[in-house]
Amino acid sequence: MSWFKRSNGATVESVVDRAVTDIRHGRFERSLSALMGVGAAVTAAEIFFEHDKASFGNRLMWLPVALGPVGTAAGVAGALNAKAAHTVLPVASAAIVANGLQGTFLHVRGIGQKPGGWHNARYNVEMGPPLLAPLLVTLVGGMGLLASLLRRER
């Protein structure tokens, strides 16, 4: 790959080596902030479609949809600005983690409220609210919290 040069003279190989070195030394703040922002946008869109299928029967179903753009903005801000990565990003990420845990509780409760409850778990887990989906939201928020703790790439 050393035959391919970037406009600044660096080879692809050296760029990859630099990225690996940054990750090994805990310098991954910008990249993980950006990934968190993208993850929040994609997750919020998917949540909107799934909760729309359920006709937003509970007002709390709007909360992860509303937190998606907040997470996206915080992720982008954290990627572009070091101060935002240590102020805005952890606050938004903590709210997203809390909402993911709340969603997990609500989904567990929703499965239990289906006919047969947890005694009919094999059917209700498949046909009821997705049991593990809110943990994806928690994971996206956790990425933001982790990004706010890491060092910034050079």
Rounded to two decimals, what is the model's pTM? Answer: 0.86
Pair 143, 36: CB distance under 8 Å: yes
Dist. CA 84–CA 118, nearest whole Å: 44
Asked whether 69 and 75 are in contact (CB, 8 A), the reply is no
> Residue 135 pLDDT > 60, yes or no?
yes
For the chain, domain boundaries? 28-149
Residue whose entry in the numeric block shows the structure tokens 């094999």: 122
| Amino acid identity, position 61 | M
**Residue 102, C-beta contacts closer than 8 angstroms, at least 6 positions apart:** 60, 63, 134
Q: Quote the distance between the C-alpha of residue 65 and its chain's center.
A: 12
- Residue pair 145/93 in contact (Cβ under 8 Å)? The answer is yes
Instruction: Give pLDDT tens digits for 20-71.
Output: 888 888 788 999 999 999 999 999 999 999 999 999 999 999 999 999 999 9
Q: Are 127 and 57 in contact (CB under 8 A)?
A: no
Contact indicator for 44, 69 with CB cutoff of 8 Å: yes
Confidence label for 2 from pLDDT (cuts 50, 70 and 90): very low
User: Hey, which residues does 5 pair with through a beta bridge?
Assistant: 11
